[in-house]
Amino acid sequence: MYRSETGQPNPNRKRLVILAHMTTEALLGRLIEHHTENPGGDELAICEFLRHELTTRGADEVAISTVPRPKGDDIGAYIFARFGTPELLVNVHIDTVPANTGWTQDPWTPSITTDKVTGLGAADTKGAIAAILTALETRSPHNVGFLFSGDEERGTSCIRDFLSSQQARDIERAIVCEPTDRYAGVRHRGVSGYQARFQGQGGHSSNADHMPKPVATLARLAVKLDDLGQRYVSQGPDDMKGICMNVAGLDGGVAFNVVPDAATLTWSIRPPHGFDQHRFDQEIELAIHNVNPDITPTRLLHNPPFSTIHLPKFEQVLGSHIRGFIPLQFWTEAAMLSEAGINAIVLGPGNIEQAHGADEWVSREDLKWAVALFTHIFESTQA
């Protein structure tokens, strides 16, 4: 944990700090340069960078925490800064997905042009961090906490660790930053991930007619799962029909002349509110039984849908600064905050269509909008 050298509240808290000015775009460029792809990135390094930025902007206290990944192959990290005793939390994730194929430039070398900033994480969600830091240069909020957290793209270890800490005890409301095209997300789907494994014996393909075929067996299950997803396409709320069944991967082959000894199949769904999970699990069990009862399924993750608990609190603050309140089709960690009883909403610069793809970008106009939005939010906490 980091505190000012005296152990007392940071003296910069009581005044606006004179900073060597860096534009929002330049700040975003510095953030993009940090490799925070998940897995494999260095979340601790970007937290150290943010510690300096937040301390200079007058935070009362800044603390960095590290969190072991569930699989033990990596270390996650998050940084929490408080201005007063936080009742409002602003949360942005610092990790990114790995760079997709098709980039026309180095993903970690930012490109700043007249209309946009391009680089991995520009939209999802380092642009929001840059806008927040810019707004903090001129407005010092009251009773606000800032959580810049890792392990969002691959798990939820950091947000879970934070919510179990004393730092979260007084938080009542939260703004979770994601690229929402200047809208505010008030509900969204959940997400569940699954894996099935079939064990054979393996051997020479000349004996393939007389031995278990793991890949072919799970391929038949994959087709049944896709058909199951199609049956849900017209079910659910009007703005969230279907379950987004995604048969994502079938692994196990060795060579064309080898019968593999095992294979695995992975898939996911994104259920809306009101989804009958128990019924769906029974349908999966039936599909597996009809293909081969020896298939072993495992649920890898289950993250619930999200809904804002009390919207009027946010309507008063956001007002005309956003384009409206909408449902989102993608999952966010707002669901974890809501489960903990924190009234949350999702918004931020950029568009989800730019996220996770090659040459990811955020417009400079969106960054300008976000700076104005956060400046307004920070001003509202001083009333």
Residue 221 and residue 184 in one domain? no
pLDDT score of 204:
95
Residue 221 and residue 74 in one domain? no
- Say which range, 8-17, 133-142, 173-182, has the weakest mean pLDDT: 8-17
Residue 336 and residue 242 in one domain? no
The answer to whether the peptide bond before residue 6 is cis (omega within 30 degrees of 0) is no
| Joined tokens for residue 178 | 């994601």
What average pLDDT does this structure show over 293-322?
94
User: In this structure, is residue 1 part of a structural domain?
Assistant: no
Provide the domain count of the chain: 2
Confidence of residue 73 (pLDDT cuts 50, 70, 90): low
Residue 260 and residue 141 in one domain? no
Residue 33 and residue 160 in one domain? yes
User: In this structure, is residue 5 part of a structural domain?
Assistant: no
Specify the 3-state DSSP secondary structure of 76: strand
Residue 110 and residue 171 in one domain? yes
User: In this structure, is residue 363 part of a structural domain?
Assistant: yes
User: In this structure, is residue 3 part of a structural domain?
Assistant: no
Last residue of a domain, one of 303, 328, 361: 303
Last residue of a domain, one of 274, 303, 332: 303
What average pLDDT does this structure show over 289-310?
95
What average pLDDT does this structure show over 178-197?
97
User: In this structure, is residue 127 part of a structural domain?
Assistant: yes
- What is the overall mean pLDDT for the chain? 93
CATH assignment at residue 205: 3.30.70.360
CATH assignment at residue 163: 3.40.630.10
- At residue 327, does pLDDT exceed 50? yes
- Measured CA to CA, the distance from residue 134 to residue 97 in angstroms comes to 25
For 338-381, how does the pLDDT look when each residue is reduced to its tens digit (9 = 90+)? Answer: 999 999 999 999 999 999 999 999 999 999 999 999 999 999 99
Confidence of residue 72 (pLDDT cuts 50, 70, 90): low
Residue 79 and residue 152 in one domain? yes
For 4-46, how does the pLDDT look when each residue is reduced to its tens digit (9 = 90+)? Answer: 333 345 544 444 444 557 899 999 999 999 999 998 899 999 9
User: In this structure, is residue 316 part of a structural domain?
Assistant: yes
pLDDT score of 74:
77
Residue 325 and residue 295 in one domain? no
For the chain, percent of residues with pLDDT exceeding 90: 88
Higher pLDDT, 93 or 2: 93
Residue 244 and residue 101 in one domain? no
User: In this structure, is residue 155 part of a structural domain?
Assistant: yes
pLDDT score of 154:
86
Q: Which residues contact 184 (CB under 8 A, 6 or more apart)?
A: 314, 318, 322, 324, 325, 326, 345, 346, 347
Residue 113 and residue 258 in one domain? no
Last residue of a domain, one of 303, 338, 363: 303
pLDDT score of 335:
96
- Structural domain including 55 reads 11-188+304-380
What average pLDDT does this structure show over 251-265?
95
Residue 322 and residue 340 in one domain? yes
- DSSP-assigned letters across all residues of 152-189: -SS--HHHHHHHTSGGGTT--EEEEE--BTT-EEEEE-
- At residue 1, does pLDDT exceed 80? no
Residue 135 and residue 268 in one domain? no
What average pLDDT does this structure show over 63-67?
97
Specify the 3-state DSSP secondary structure of 99: coil
**Contact (Cβ atoms closer than 8 angstroms) between residue 134 and residue 50:** no
Inter-CA distances, 187 with 47, 83, 325, 330, Å = 29, 28, 9, 10
Confidence of residue 69 (pLDDT cuts 50, 70, 90): confident
- At residue 383, does pLDDT exceed 90? no
